[in-house]
């Protein structure tokens, strides 16, 4: 068994005991040392195990939120304790580990192997499904990674995926408001999704906004386009090309679709929206929309 895989196994056993006994952080460290002494007395990477354990325990609330949103049909209390802690461990490495040391695929594959070794008959499949959904749907951690084993594909030869999104606005009692969605990584952003081959961008954005947040919108104008490279575990690197619209809606209740990645959606007065935590590439789009809706705004 490779040293790092053994180390992860020991950390998993420690997390299981921590979860089962509701241990304090100090007790958890003592459990880890006991497990190291029993299962790997000559281990050379104790620091790795300590950092992995401390990081997973410290991020427990964040990791549990990811699990809940990525697998909404499986409340944490219904997930087997082993599977629950495999997911916490795997998600911590997938989302927060040094990507140069732990590539995304390594984090996922290691978690699947732990689930197969310590969990039930379907544990590996369950963990694979949750972590795969997080990887593909929630910002694709490590999308800029370069695999040393794969031949570099020129940018112009990469397959392109077309998406549409919108800054959705309404006027309520004369006040300008924006409809925004919130992801489980703590950012407010724009509703967007894939464009089907037969759709025009205008038709696609109307469909996507309705599906994701339940609003009927009317595209007013294009705000701009951007393109970035993402890594798909099945096809490799691909170009994601997004067309953003300014879209008008009535002020009706937002109904966020139940799916992984997003945990909230709200109407915000513009004065509040400008103070929210946006991704760097979203802020210029939102700012441009506000400037068009409120001429003279800097």
Residue 260 tokens read as 């992984």
Domain boundaries defined on the chain? 3-137, 157-293
Residue 172 CA from chain centroid, whole number: 32
Residue of 190, 224, 186, 184 whose CA lies nearest to 209: 190
Model confidence pTM above 0.75 = no
What is residue 147's DSSP assignment? Answer: -
pLDDT at 1 (0 to 100): 40
Residue of 215, 287, 290 whose CA lies nearest to 249: 215
Residue 262 tokens read as 């997003």
Give the CA distances from residue 35 to residues 7, 17, 27, 194, in Å, rounded to whole numbers and listed in that order: 10, 11, 12, 47
Cβ-based neighbours of 262, under 8 Å, separated by 6 or more: 69, 181, 182, 183, 184, 212, 256
Q: What is the per-residue pLDDT across 25-74, written as a single tens digit (0 to 9) for each?
A: 778 889 999 989 888 888 788 999 999 999 999 999 999 998 988 888 88
- Residue 16 near residue 85, CB atoms below 8 Å: yes
**Residue written as tokens 């499949």?**
125
Is the pLDDT score of 206 beyond 70? yes
Give the CA distances from residue 86 to residues 61, 276, 282, in Å, rounded to whole numbers and listed in that order: 15, 33, 33
Q: Give the 3-state secondary structure of 112-130.
A: HHHHHHHCCCCHHHHHHHH
Q: Is 22 exposed, middle or buried (0-12, 13-18, 19+ CB in 10 A)?
A: exposed
When the candidates are 3.40.50.2000, 3.90.79.10, 3.40.50.10490, 3.40.350.10, the CATH number that belongs to 157-293 is 3.90.79.10
Q: What is the per-residue pLDDT across 235-278, written as a single tens digit (0 to 9) for each?
A: 667 788 999 999 999 999 999 987 656 778 999 999 999 889 88
Residue 172 tokens read as 């309520």
Average pLDDT, the chain: 86
> Alpha-carbon distance 187 to 179, whole Å?
14
Q: What is the largest CA-CA distance in the chain?
A: 70
Q: What is the per-residue pLDDT across 74-92, written as a single tens digit (0 to 9) for each?
A: 888 899 999 999 999 999 9
> Alpha-carbon distance 186 to 261, whole Å?
11
> Three-state DSSP class for 11?
helix
Is the pLDDT score of 15 beyond 90? yes
> Alpha-carbon distance 288 to 281, whole Å?
12
Question: Who has greater pLDDT, 246 or 24?
Answer: 246
Q: Which residues of 157-192 are buried (b: 16+ CB within 10 A; e: fewer)?
A: ebeebbbbbbbbbbeeeeebbbbbbbbbbebbbbbb
Q: What is the per-residue pLDDT across 131-158, written as a single tens digit (0 to 9) for each?
A: 988 887 655 545 554 444 445 678 778 8
- Residue 56 near residue 12, CB atoms below 8 Å: no
Superfamily of domain 3-137 in the CATH hierarchy:
NusB-like (1.10.940.10)
pLDDT at 231 (0 to 100): 57
């Amino acid at each position: 068994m490779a040293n790092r895989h053994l180390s992860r196994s020991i950390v998993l056993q420690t997390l299981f005991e921590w979860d089962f006994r509701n241990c304090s952080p100090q007790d958890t460290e003592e459990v880890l040392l006991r497990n190291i002494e029993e299962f790997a007395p000559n281990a050379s990477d104790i620091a790795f195990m300590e950092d992995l354990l401390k990081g997973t325990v410290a991020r427990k609330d964040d990791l549990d939120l990811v699990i809940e949103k990525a697998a909404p049909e499986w409340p944490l209390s219904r997930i087997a304790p082993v599977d629950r802690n495999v997911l916490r461990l795997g998600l911590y490495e997938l989302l927060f580990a040094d990507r140069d040391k732990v590539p995304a695929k390594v984090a996922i594959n290691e978690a699947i192997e732990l689930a197969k070794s310590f969990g039930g008959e379907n544990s590996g499949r369950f963990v694979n499904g949750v972590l795969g959904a997080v990887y593909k749907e929630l910002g694709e951690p490590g999308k800029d990674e370069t695999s040393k084993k794969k031949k570099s594909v020129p940018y112009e030869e990469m397959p392109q995926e077309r998406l549409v999104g919108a800054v959705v606005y309404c006027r309520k009692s004369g006040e300008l408001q924006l409809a925004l969605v919130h992801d489980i990584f703590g950012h407010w952003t724009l509703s967007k999704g894939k464009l089907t081959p037969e759709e025009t961008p205008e038709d696609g954005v109307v469909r996507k906004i309705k599906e994701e947040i339940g609003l009927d919108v009317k595209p007013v104008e294009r705000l701009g386009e951007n393109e970035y490279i993402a890594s798909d575990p099945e096809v490799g690197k691909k170009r994601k090309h997004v067309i953003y619209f300014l879209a008008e809606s009535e002020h009706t209740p937002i109904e966020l679709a139940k799916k992984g990645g997003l945990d909230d959606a709200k109407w915000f007065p513009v004065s509040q929206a400008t103070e929210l935590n946006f991704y760097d590439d979203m802020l210029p789009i939102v700012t441009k929309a506000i400037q068009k809706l409120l001429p003279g705004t800097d």
